[in-house]
């Protein structure tokens, strides 16, 4: 078993805590923007567009992450309404959905392709998630169930959010490995996939399927059909993404067939 005694608090300024989690989340956002800028340059998209959409996505992500967390723990906040404006709790799917909703609104306002921007952001997004999960590992949040296997971790720092001295599954590491594998796949395929939106949809599928499996090893509260809220969202997102991917690919193939027929007739 592995002992994690890393203090998740960098320093205290009065009542304000500066945690490694916050630093790594900032680094995650920087990674997403940096890789998106690289992809935008390759695709001929102006750099200013990425900076503008990044601002929208960050604001939407924060709002969505907090809102979904409150919905998931509504019974707690029902009796502790003073905690509603405390940003101590955030939900990863809320951050993703809130960010995507903001990007969609941006695309509608600016009359840009949502699928194109989704493809540009996808590789950086999943890498950013891996960096963010490193923050979870140090912070002790998103911890796993009790585990007696050699892979178990034990948190010993009192500032950790994980139970102290209890061997648990290193679910944060599971998430990190999933995200890094997903980044390797998406980055290697980014120049090969058609139509637009395929890379973005594969990101949703890869993330949702991995998250669904890992959640069985994490602390959670039943939400629907004895599944936690995150797993219900995993199922809905993966199903929607798979159907959308099939429909878009079928439409893409159908659109190419008349073009192929025209080329053949010209050659004859």
Q: Find, among 190, 28, 238, the residue nearest to 125 by Cα.
A: 28
Per-residue pLDDT of the chain (268 residues; tens, 9 = 90+): 688 888 988 887 777 778 888 889 889 989 999 999 999 999 889 999 999 999 988 888 888 877 777 766 666 666 656 555 555 566 777 788 888 889 999 999 989 999 999 999 999 999 999 998 998 899 888 899 999 899 999 999 998 989 999 999 999 999 999 999 999 999 999 988 889 999 999 999 999 999 999 999 988 777 778 888 889 989 999 999 999 999 999 988 887 776 555 554 454 4
Q: Residue 238 and residue 119: Cα distance in Å, rounded?
A: 17
Q: Which pairing describes strands 227-228 and 222-224: parallel, antiparallel, or unpaired?
A: antiparallel
Q: What was the pLDDT predicted at 82?
A: 55
- C-alpha angle with apex 235: 75 to 210, nearest 5 degrees? 100
Q: At what angle do helices 114-139 and 47-72 cross, to 10 degrees?
A: 50
Q: Supply the pTM of this predicted model.
A: 0.83
């Amino acid at each position: 078993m592995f002992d994690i005694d890393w203090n998740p608090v960098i320093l205290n300024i009065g009542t304000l805590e500066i945690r490694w989690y916050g630093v790594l989340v900032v680094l995650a956002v920087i990674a997403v923007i940096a890789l998106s800028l690289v992809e935008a340059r390759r695709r001929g998209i102006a750099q200013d567009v990425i900076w503008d959409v990044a601002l929208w996505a960050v604001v939407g992500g924060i709002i969505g992450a907090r809102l979904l967390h409150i919905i998931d723990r509504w019974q707690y906040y029902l009796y502790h309404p003073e905690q509603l404006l405390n940003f101590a709790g955030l939900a990863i799917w809320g951050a993703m959905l809130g960010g995507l909703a903001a990007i969609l609104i941006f695309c509608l306002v600016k009359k840009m392709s949502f699928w194109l921007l989704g493809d540009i952001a996808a590789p950086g997004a999943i890498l950013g998630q891996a960096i963010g999960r490193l923050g979870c590992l140090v912070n002790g949040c998103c911890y796993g169930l009790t585990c007696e296997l050699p892979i178990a971790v034990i948190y010993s720092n009192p500032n950790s959010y994980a139970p102290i001295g209890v061997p648990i599954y290193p679910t944060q590491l599971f998430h990190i490995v999933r995200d890094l594998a997903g980044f390797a796949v998406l980055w290697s395929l980014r120049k090969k996939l058609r139509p637009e939106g395929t890379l973005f949809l594969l990101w949703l599928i890869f993330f949702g399927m991995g998250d669904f499996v890992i959640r069985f090893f994490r602390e959670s509260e039943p939400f629907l059909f004895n599944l936690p809220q995150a797993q219900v969202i995993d199922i809905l997102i993966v199903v929607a993404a798979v159907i959308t991917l099939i429909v878009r690919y079928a439409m893409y193939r159908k659109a190419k067939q008349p073009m192929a027929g025209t080329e053949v007739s010209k050659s004859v």
